């Protein structure tokens, strides 16, 4: 057993952990990052954000080549080579995870391979195939992330009944795939396999998709995705999934009337949410306060035990990579004597379907419920010249601003490059800006961002192109 002395040992090398490690090292803290999966980058780089975006991109190109190239005067038939597509995705992941390893080395962070646990404050025990070691440290940061929430009674095998991890590596395109849960994973990975030729049915417990999103934007999303071929069964719960040979027999029940339906499909994706992952850390024994498995922290990310901090998916808040990164930076800046800060009111959320769905701030429903008087400005991409030239005219920009001060309170975009367009709104909102500020800012022509400007003009009923 060997010993070392660190200022900070981080358990978990995902976007929360590795970014915190780099920032801590920049601030002069002697830092180690412990990761058990064998590669850095966490869920996000290995089995989350990045492989899903690689497949979303590839499958979008396939649909373009199949269905849209001809209208541009580009002719010829294309066929799918799934193995190559999956291989490309794996290479993207491999390059990115190695990139993170390089960054840790460059910043002189010790990357310790193995599974960490906390026998007591000030010590991290790391177990790997090479043996065990104790890392002595002033502070410990837990960044162990999350895992897929299981659906009781339905066992996943990552081949026929899969979580998002299995859905990133299916060996062939299913004829019929059922996605349980019309959330972010269901819509993104459902889109991938639907574009590649599967019939995709999304079964959702609630009577709407993407719960929590601005309702009008959610309805538009359902309409556009429906046009692309995704079928939705809303207000339904799956009660059983039985494997029968190479098929899965699904039994579901309508939530209101209890009417039972059966479906025989090839693949089932269970995507009903994610839960904090803290197994094996020894937190119960240490007395770290948790609520339903989620580590409880104060405003400086400190747990109920001195010297132990936590960030990212394993603490409360949206389970997003950029939120985990912001947590990590704010936490270690505070540890280094600076003033770390995260504005949780303005964490953007993007669903990378086609078109993308991007939102920040309050929905119309939330403003109504809070009794806030607001103005709405909307602008459709069908009236934006660049979107028309691209043949991407589905969707709209919607801006909600305070009726008295005009301060922007929420922005909801469904349309081409919505995720990138949203950044302008997030920056304006971070500075407490108004719709008028966006409306009076010069936007280049012809640009998709002109739709954001026009929506801001529409708040004051003076949009030009509609």
The annotated binding site for NAD(+) is made up of: 181-188, 204, 273
Active site annotation includes 445: yes
- Which positions lie near ligand NAI, rule CB under 6 A? 151, 180-186, 188, 203-206, 211, 237-238, 271-274, 318-320, 350-352
Which of 313, 454 has the CB closer to ligand FAD? 313
Among ligand FAD, ligand NAI, none, the one that 35 touches (CB under a kind-dependent 5 to 8 A) is: ligand FAD
- The CA distance from 365 to 455, in Å, is 19
For 153, 319, 417, the CA distances from 241, given in Å and listed in that order, are 8, 27, 37
Asked if residue 22 lies in contact with residue 109, where contact means CB atoms within 8 angstroms, the answer is yes
Q: In this structure, are residues 52 and 86 in contact, taking their beta carbons and an 8 Å threshold?
A: no
Nearest distance, CB of residue 11 and ligand FAD, angstroms: 5
CB-based contact 13:126 (threshold 8 Å): no
Q: Name the minimum Å distance from CB 11 to ligand NAI.
A: 21
Query: From residue 373, how far is each of 172, 215, 364, 425, 430 by CA, in Å?
Result: 52, 18, 10, 20, 20
Q: How far is the CB of 188 from ligand NAI (least distance, A)?
A: 5
Task: For the chain, report the end-to-end CA distance as a whole number of angstroms.
Answer: 71
Residue 450 is encoded by which pair of tokens? 């002109």
- 300: tokens are 């400086």
Choose the contact partner of 181 out of ligand NAI, ligand FAD, none; CB within 5 to 8 A by kind.
ligand NAI
CB of 34 to ligand FAD, least distance (A): 5
Binding residues vs ligand FAD (CB under 6 A): 11-17, 34-37, 42-44, 48-49, 52, 115-116, 143-146, 164, 185, 277, 280-281, 312-313, 319-322, 324, 352
Rounded-to-integer distance, Cα 53 and Cα 45, Å: 10
Q: Which is nearer to ligand FAD, 17 or 416 (CB)?
A: 17
List of residues 6+ apart from 285 with CB closer than 8 A: none
Q: Which residue is nearest to ligand NAI (CB)?
A: 183
Binding-site residue numbers are 53, 116, 144-146, 181-188, 204, 273, 313, 319-322
Nearer to ligand FAD, 133 or 251 (CB): 133
- Picked from ligand FAD, ligand NAI, none, the partner binding residue 143 (CB below 5 to 8 A depending on kind) is ligand FAD
Nearer to ligand FAD, 16 or 377 (CB): 16
Q: How many helices (H) and strands (E) does the chain have?
A: 14, 24
Beta bridge partners of 267: 177
Distance of CA 346 to the CA centre of its chain: 15
**One of 68, 341, 445, 465 is an active-site residue; which one?**
445
> At closest approach, how far in Å is the CB of 366 from ligand NAI?
17
Could you say which of ligand FAD, ligand NAI, none residue 42 binds, taking C-beta under 5 to 8 angstroms by partner kind? ligand FAD
Residue whose CB is less far from ligand FAD, 52 or 217: 52
Partner whose footprint covers residue 182, from ligand NAI, ligand FAD, none (CB < 5 to 8 Å by kind): ligand NAI
Distance, in Å, from the CA atom of 441 to the CA atom of 29, rounded to the nearest integer, reads: 42
| Binding-site residues for FAD | 53, 116, 144-146, 313, 319-322
Q: In angstroms, give the least distance from the CB of 168 to ligand FAD.
A: 7
Tell me whether residue 136 or residue 440 sits nearer to ligand FAD (CB atom).
136
Cα 355 to Cα 252: distance, rounded to the nearest angstrom? 30
151 interface partner picked from ligand FAD, ligand NAI, none, CB below 5 to 8 A per type: ligand NAI
Query: Residue 311 has which token pair?
Result: 């960030």
Candidates 254, 319, 252; CA nearest to 48 is 319
DSSP E strand boundaries for 255-343: 260-265, 267-270, 274-276, 290-291, 294-295, 308-310
| Residue 299 C-beta-side C-alpha neighbours within 13 Å | 4
Give the residue numbers marked as catalytic. 445
């Amino acid at each position: 057993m060997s010993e070392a002395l660190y200022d900070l040992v981080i358990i978990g090398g995902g976007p929360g952990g590795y970014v915190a490690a780099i920032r801590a090292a920049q601030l002069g803290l002697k830092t180690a990052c412990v990761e058990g999966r064998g590669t850095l980058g966490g869920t996000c780089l290995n089995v989350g954000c990045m492989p899903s975006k690689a497949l979303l991109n590839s499958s979008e190109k396939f649909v373009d080549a199949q269905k849209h190239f001809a209208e541009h005067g580009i002719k010829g038939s294309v066929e799918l080579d799934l193995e190559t597509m999956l291989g490309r995705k794996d290479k993207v992941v491999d390059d990115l995870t190695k990139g993170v390893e390089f960054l840790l080395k460059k910043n002189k962070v010790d990357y310790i391979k193995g599974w960490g646990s906390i026998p007591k404050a000030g010590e991290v025990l790391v177990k790997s195939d090479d043996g065990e070691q104790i890392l002595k440290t002033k502070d410990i940061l837990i960044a162990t992330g999350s895992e897929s929430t299981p659906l009781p009674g339905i066992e996943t095998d990552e081949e026929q009944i899969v979580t998002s991890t299995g859905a990133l590596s299916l060996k062939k395109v299913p004829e019929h795939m059922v996605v349980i849960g019309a959330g972010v994973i269901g819509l993104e990975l459902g889109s991938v396999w639907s574009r590649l030729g599967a019939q995709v049915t999304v079964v959702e417990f609630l009577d709407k998709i993407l719960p929590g999103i601005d309702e009008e934007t959610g309805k538009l999303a359902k309409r556009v995705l429906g046009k692309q071929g995704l079928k939705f069964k809303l207000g339904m719960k799956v009660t059983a999934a039985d494997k029968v040979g190479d098929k899965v027999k699904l039994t579901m029940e309508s939530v209101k009337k209890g009417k039972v339906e059966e479906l025989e499909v090839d693949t089932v994706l269970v995507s009903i949410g994610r839960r904090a992952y803290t197994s094996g850390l020894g937190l119960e024994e240490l007395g770290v306060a948790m609520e339903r498995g989620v580590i409880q922290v104060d405003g400086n990310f400190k747990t109920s035990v001195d010297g132990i901090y936590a960030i990212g998916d394993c603490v409360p808040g949206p389970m997003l990579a950029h939120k985990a990164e912001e947590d990590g930076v704010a936490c270690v800046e505070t540890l280094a004597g600076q003033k770390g800060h995260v504005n949780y009111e303005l964490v953007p959320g993007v669903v990378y379907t086609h078109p993308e769905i991007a939102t920040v701030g309050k929905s119309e429903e939330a403003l109504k419920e809070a009794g806030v008087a607001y103005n709405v400005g909307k602008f459709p991409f069908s009236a934006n010249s660049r979107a028309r030239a691209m043949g991407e005219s589905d969707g709209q920009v919607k801006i909600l601003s305070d009726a008295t001060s005009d301060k922007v309170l929420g922005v909801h975009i469904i349309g081409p490059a919505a995720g990138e367009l949203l950044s302008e709104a997030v920056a304006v909102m971070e500075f407490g800006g108004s719709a008028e500020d966006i409306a009076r800012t010069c936007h280049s022509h012809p640009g998709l961002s002109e739709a954001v400007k026009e929506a801001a003009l529409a708040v004051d009923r003076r949009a030009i192109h509609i």
